[in-house]
Chains A and B, each alone.
Chain A
């Protein structure tokens, strides 16, 4: 189709449509109209021939009629005055003896979407509702919804609503379903169509008469019905039982969701249903349609969150095959990672290892991260596989393996030894920022166990001038200072060089500040450095941190068979947030107060420490050491005395936060690794009278807020307030720093 200027095309078509020779020849006339439609689909503005098309609507040829009505529905909003001319023909067609023509005319008239059409369509719709042909009734019922939506502020017509409710008893199943849809739209303001007991049971009895789309939709409407008694509930569930075996996945999932929601209080029924839906879900997972397969995989993951062992014996179904698209492979790897257990761990790891050398670097990296995830439970086997992968000396593999090691050392300290032995040599194969940071961090923290650590770091120091990522430089500063504490002789010289470079030549302010801070810290004395840098580490064994393991079925039942599992919870939250921005107003009263509060730059810590005790009655004891077990016990036994939400705009950097808190004598008992979702941290502090403050920081991925919950073992409001103001200042300052 040549893309002529649309004006030329319109002119040409206009001429053809007016040509009496063409008008008399049915086929040629139809062909010209088809050309108009084709241009319309391609996005050309065809509104210029509206007049001629209106004329073409007065014909006995139904095909031509349909085409013209399609055209008119598209352009009526642009040419409302001309469209009114067509109303006449449409009204006439609405009383045609042929029900098909009646239905077609009524449907098109209701779809005109232009102001003022309402007065013309009201009567035909009312007639249509009582038409003897079910085809016309279907159209008329939906026409009610269209008419209502034409004027958003129009009031609900009570008589019409009653008529629609009575049509729920119609003979034709599609009319019934259309009534539900129409009522739902008309009564949107009042919360949608009401499903009371008679309606619910009427619908249940008609279910078998409906086609699969109707069934799926009715199942969705039934969700809002609350059975009165347990007996009724089980009657309904019995009626619905056969739909769990339907050949349509949509109906099966709809029925499953209804079961899950209705049997809210009967966990065994829920589990039973999930067992029965296993077959259809697995069949969908290996369906020929990739899209359906993907949707099913997302739901499998959802179920696995609550019942980790649910699909364990079917792990082979989730092995990736060569020809699948990337997004399905990634989902499958996630599923494998979640269903692993003692029996299948060997085979699953074997399979994942195969993926690590895939041609696609992205997929290979995803597989390595998955092995890292499994390593939290099956550490030894995984570390061995990861170590073998280092031997391949491939850049994209090595960098991800090192990152996995970093997270693993954090969560499973028992594997430190093995990791330290694997590390030497891999610095040659790392080029990207993330990988370098991970390697440097590992070398800094566990440098005393890696013989060549100083020499590797020295290479980095040598090349620091050509280093492009500021984050790597920061990590290098911290790591080198840490290593200096454990191996001073080998590090002193290069630490000096690095600090000199960072303070004198570095352009990035954050790096320079970090350099200055360390320099001044060193001036204060080595003990002070040790106190700040080697403060008690976060203790990952704290049970509270990983508390999210098994979520109850009810927490996601309402999301089942919707788009939420497909997008994933986090992305869904982001989507619904930007959809409902007006709902969340500017409601951060706190944010203003931070501007006023003085910046807490770590290098001022000396003055700060002296200042703080004077400013209030609160004096926090510097070295209050609590064990994780004691903390957990105390935390569980106390009530929250204060809860507050602070704005938090960026990713957490645990080290920075921990250090800042250390300065004001708040100890970190445990915190999640950077980037974990949700991110949590547990803090403790003690004042000079022995009063304990326990704090939880919670960062939910969906909202940019830090939630603080404080518990206190003695109820003293005054000290509590000063403690909170200290905490607020620290978090506010860290939250404000732009990295």
Chain B
């Protein structure tokens, strides 16, 4: 069970502090935690720390530290999961999780904590159940508007304006609908894939790992059933390939317990009655063998960046090259010349290199690919089996996104 729970800003200021059991320490515990964290020797992990008879378990989420203390030998998995769930929950209710939203919504956060945990024991963490008990409304900094053009993000400006959901659309509190009931019936479905790739210096693939999840954030009145159709060629494990196209083979899938899998085997349809708020619908791990052409070799150009939008800077033994946008099919090149003191041989070139003596360090890419999933998994349709009361059809937003977790090429 949890003795104390607190949220610290990245600078160590306490934003939220709650003592559930009154069995250990006082206010200074937050300061103690931060001191321990910053003074930790490099080879020890900060995830779990102890002081006297107290264990500190924390996660870092959006620049905040969510910390719980306990004096018992608890299950680390449940504890860390609970902290992540709390982070999601607070994000759900406050719109998004950040230092600003938390300090604006102190009362709301305390109210949530009070309902989620009693005497340090979890009572419930379902957004749906909590809704009945939470009275405070979230204070949002900016009123949300679909037509706020400045916040158009994810898909870029090329698509039709009216069909684009601003990237901030999903980051609004689940509860605001109380005031303007039924106005915004919206569902956000994100197919997010994380790539971690390691390519050896000779071009051979050392490791390719794609981990994906389907996240659903729903602002619909609860109880409505949603049907999500996935690509038909989707298959799990070593089962037979389906269809004629290149199959999507996933090593493993897990679904949230509220997903009804009756039609999954035959038609790849997930049926669910979602509670409001954010939930992982399912997550899968898969391995894909990619053939990749690297379009970023340094060409014989001197350091010269083609557009002013690009930035290159040197920091801590590494070179950072930021590109705001890359057109599909285009090729970019940059030549960087660096003088490494005390190193015999020619100066090296290449993006993101470290001054390691054995030639050059690895090049690491981080990028986001909207409207593309590496596995080829697509959501075919998203159907709602309910009639909204009086109002127009609900808005359904489906987004596909791949981003790199670690995409490293050894040079």
The distance from the CB of B259 to the nearest CB of chain A, in whole angstroms, is: 9
Which one of A16-24, A137-145, A480-488, A623-631 is at the B interface?
A: A137-145
A386 in the interface (beta carbon within 8 A): no
Closest residue of chain B to A252 (Cβ to Cβ) is B77
B43 in the interface (beta carbon within 8 A): yes
A324 in the interface (beta carbon within 8 A): yes
The 8 A CB mask of B308-332 against A (1 = contact, 0 = none) is: 0000000011100000000000000
Verify B252–A213 contact, CB threshold 8 A: no
Q: Is the interface of A mostly helix, strand, loop or mixed?
A: helix
Verify B77–A138 contact, CB threshold 8 A: no
Residues of A within 8 A of B317 (CB): 359
Contacts A250-B75, A253-B75: A174 and B123 contacting too (C-beta < 8 A)?
A: yes
The 8 A CB mask of B40-72 against A (1 = contact, 0 = none) is: 001111111010110100111000000000000
Task: Give the complex CA separation of A41 and B8 in angstroms.
Answer: 11
Verify A292–B80 contact, CB threshold 8 A: yes
Task: Give the complex CA separation of A579 and B361 in angstroms.
Answer: 45
Verify A249–B77 contact, CB threshold 8 A: yes
Contacts A323-B364, A575-B50: A288 and B82 contacting too (C-beta < 8 A)?
A: no
Verify A291–B58 contact, CB threshold 8 A: yes
Task: Give the complex CA separation of A696 and B352 in angstroms.
Answer: 55
Verify B59–A70 contact, CB threshold 8 A: no
Residues of B within 8 A of A250 (CB): 75, 77-79, 81-82
B74 in the interface (beta carbon within 8 A): yes
Interface residues of A in 311-333 (CB under 8 A from B): 316-317, 319, 321-324, 326-328, 330-331
Residues of A within 8 A of B47 (CB): 290-291, 294-295, 327, 566
Chain B interface bracket (under 10, 10 to 19, 20 to 34, 35 or more): 35 or more
Verify A100–B133 contact, CB threshold 8 A: yes
B339 in the interface (beta carbon within 8 A): no
Task: Give the complex CA separation of A362 and B136 in angstroms.
Answer: 49
Q: A247: which of B209, B251, B255, B364 is its contact (CB, 8 Å)? A: B255
Among B53, B126, B207, B410: residue with most chain A CB under 10 A: B207
Task: Give the complex CA separation of A613 and B128 in angstroms.
Answer: 85
Task: Give the complex CA separation of A252 and B196 in angstroms.
Answer: 25
A500 in the interface (beta carbon within 8 A): no
Residues of A within 8 A of B43 (CB): 326-327, 330, 362, 366
Verify A563–B55 contact, CB threshold 8 A: yes
Contacts A181-B121, A286-B196: A34 and B84 contacting too (C-beta < 8 A)?
A: no
Residues of B within 8 A of A220 (CB): 75
Task: Give the complex CA separation of A84 and B133 in angstroms.
Answer: 27
Task: Give the complex CA separation of A394 and B364 in angstroms.
Answer: 24
Residues of B within 8 A of A38 (CB): 103, 106
Verify B42–A138 contact, CB threshold 8 A: no
Which one of B16-24, B92-100, B369-377 is at the A interface?
A: B16-24
Task: Give the complex CA separation of A212 and B77 in angstroms.
Answer: 12
Task: Give the complex CA separation of A248 and B79 in angstroms.
Answer: 11
Q: B135: which of A63, A107, A213, A330 is its contact (CB, 8 Å)? A: A63
The distance from the CB of A200 to the nearest CB of chain B, in whole angstroms, is: 20
The distance from the CB of B216 to the nearest CB of chain A, in whole angstroms, is: 14
Closest residue of chain A to B49 (Cβ to Cβ) is A567
Verify A43–B254 contact, CB threshold 8 A: no
B154 in the interface (beta carbon within 8 A): no
The distance from the CB of A94 to the nearest CB of chain B, in whole angstroms, is: 16
Interface residues of A in 247-299 (CB under 8 A from B): 247-254, 279-280, 282-284, 286, 288-292, 294-296
Q: A142: which of B77, B80, B121, B361 is its contact (CB, 8 Å)? A: B121
A711 in the interface (beta carbon within 8 A): no
Task: Give the complex CA separation of A216 and B80 in angstroms.
Answer: 13
Verify B106–A286 contact, CB threshold 8 A: no
Task: Give the complex CA separation of A693 and B45 in angstroms.
Answer: 45
Residues of A within 8 A of B1 (CB): 181
Interface residues of A in 526-569 (CB under 8 A from B): 561-564, 566-567
Among B209, B280, B318, B355: residue with most chain A CB under 10 A: B209
Interface residues of A in 156-200 (CB under 8 A from B): 174, 177-178, 181
Q: A245: which of B75, B84, B136, B254 is its contact (CB, 8 Å)? A: B254
Closest residue of chain A to B361 (Cβ to Cβ) is A359
Residues of A within 8 A of B175 (CB): none
Closest residue of chain A to B13 (Cβ to Cβ) is A42
Residues of B within 8 A of A181 (CB): 1, 119, 121
A354 in the interface (beta carbon within 8 A): yes
Verify B361–A357 contact, CB threshold 8 A: yes
The distance from the CB of B241 to the nearest CB of chain A, in whole angstroms, is: 21
Closest residue of chain A to B44 (Cβ to Cβ) is A327
Closest residue of chain B to A103 (Cβ to Cβ) is B133
B354 in the interface (beta carbon within 8 A): yes
Contacts A247-B257, A291-B47: A70 and B318 contacting too (C-beta < 8 A)?
A: no
The 8 A CB mask of A559-597 against B (1 = contact, 0 = none) is: 001111011000000010011000000000000000000
The distance from the CB of B306 to the nearest CB of chain A, in whole angstroms, is: 26
Residues of A within 8 A of B73 (CB): 562-564
Q: B76: which of A30, A67, A283, A566 is its contact (CB, 8 Å)? A: A566
Residues of A within 8 A of B19 (CB): 74
The distance from the CB of A553 to the nearest CB of chain B, in whole angstroms, is: 18
Q: A138: which of B114, B123, B198 is its contact (CB, 8 Å)? A: B123
Residues of A within 8 A of B206 (CB): 316, 319, 347, 351
Task: Give the complex CA separation of A250 and B76 in angstroms.
Answer: 8
Closest residue of chain A to B251 (Cβ to Cβ) is A279
The distance from the CB of B42 to the nearest CB of chain A, in whole angstroms, is: 5
Among B44, B119, B252, B282: residue with most chain A CB under 10 A: B119
B276 in the interface (beta carbon within 8 A): no
Residues of B within 8 A of A394 (CB): 357
| Apart from A322-B364, A359-B355: 20 A-B pairs, beta carbons within 8 A | A30-B107, A42-B13, A43-B17, A43-B27, A66-B107, A74-B19, A107-B118, A142-B121, A211-B125, A247-B280, A251-B78, A283-B254, A288-B405, A289-B80, A290-B47, A290-B60, A319-B198, A327-B46, A357-B361, A563-B76
A-B contacts, 27 listed (Cβ < 8 Å): A37-B110, A43-B30, A70-B110, A135-B133, A139-B118, A174-B124, A177-B121, A212-B257, A216-B78, A247-B257, A250-B75, A282-B285, A283-B285, A286-B209, A289-B80, A291-B83, A292-B81, A294-B45, A316-B206, A357-B356, A357-B361, A359-B316, A359-B361, A362-B43, A563-B55, A564-B73, A579-B52
- In order of increasing CB-CB distance, the 7 nearest A-B pairs are A321-B406, A250-B78, A327-B45, A213-B122, A357-B358, A250-B77, A357-B356
